[in-house]
Amino acid sequence: MKSIEVVYSPKLLPLYDLSGKLVVVIDILRASSTICVAFETGVNKVLPVAGIDECLIFKDFDFLIAAERNAIKVPAFDMGNSPFEFQNPLLAGKNIAFTTTNGTKALKMAKAQGAKEILIGSFLNLSALCKQLEELQLDVVLLCAGWKDKYNLEDSLFAGAVAAHLSDYFAKNDDACIAAIELYEKHANNLDEIIRKSSHANRFQLLHLHTDDIAFCSQIDYTQKVPKLVGEYLVI
Ligand code: MLT
């Protein structure tokens, strides 16, 4: 039986051997949710980029550019990190270079550490993601982007949702995974409510922005698309 593990912070990732494993990158508020929306809108590919300056360069190379730091859109970029910005039909067929505080960083770490496959997960593509994980038959690592290397509630909740849905197919010998399932099962019927208690939701409130994003990112199965890293690009 294949295994499923949960990593609550990118800082813990070096403790895990990723060779031959599939990593699901999770940043519910909001990078992994927003990436799922971009592909549902019809974006061609997304290039995850580490830094703001590097991302800006792609403006000259047939890319739209999107950047967020500390939940705020970076000035001079085409988009920030709100899923609503990525619902714009004019994005269909476009390439997007994208950098965020935690999500794109976690993704690049998983790649640098030699993961065999990297997929993007969010409540928005929960069923489609679980179906692929069932079919691919690889050991799975659910990587929570967290907040600046610290634990966060919404990513852990989603890791628990995936692990709970797959519990018949994967062995769970990992306490982090068991804890995530317990968390999810307690709150499965009120996701929006528990996510609103998170520190990132509180951050949105303090900044007076994006409070609709929480309800949006708590929706299940908005899309059947499962973005996957191929080379340097996310595609479907
Ligand atoms: C991130 O990658 O840090 C997040 O998606 C932050 C956000 O924009 O809410």
- Asked whether the predicted pLDDT for residue 235 surpasses 90, the reply is yes
Closest residue to atom 7 of ligand 1, CA basis: 71
DSSP 3-state assignment of 113? coil
Which of 26, 28, 29 is the pocket-test mutation for ligand 1 (most atoms within 8 Å of CB)? 29
pLDDT in tens, 38-76: 999 999 999 999 999 999 999 999 999 999 999 999 999
Q: Is 34 in the pocket of ligand 1 (CB under 6 A)?
A: no
Q: What is the rounded average pLDDT for all residues in the chain? A: 96
CA of 198 relative to ligand 1 center, distance in Å:
13
pLDDT in tens, 119-164: 999 999 999 999 999 999 999 999 999 999 999 999 999 999 999 9
Q: Confidence band (pLDDT; 50, 70, 90) for 30?
A: very high
Which of 99-133 are b and which e, b meaning 16 or more Cβ less than 10 Å from the residue's Cβ?
Answer: bbbbbbbbbbbbbebebebbbbbbbbbbebbbebb
The reported pLDDT for the residue numbered 210 is 65
Sequence ranges of the domains in the chain: 4-235
Instruction: Tell me the average pLDDT across 70-97.
Output: 96
Q: Which two tokens stand for residue 144?
A: 């929570």
Q: What is the CATH number of domain 4-235?
A: 3.90.1560.10
Q: At what angle do helices 175-187 and 153-165 cross, to 10 degrees?
A: 100
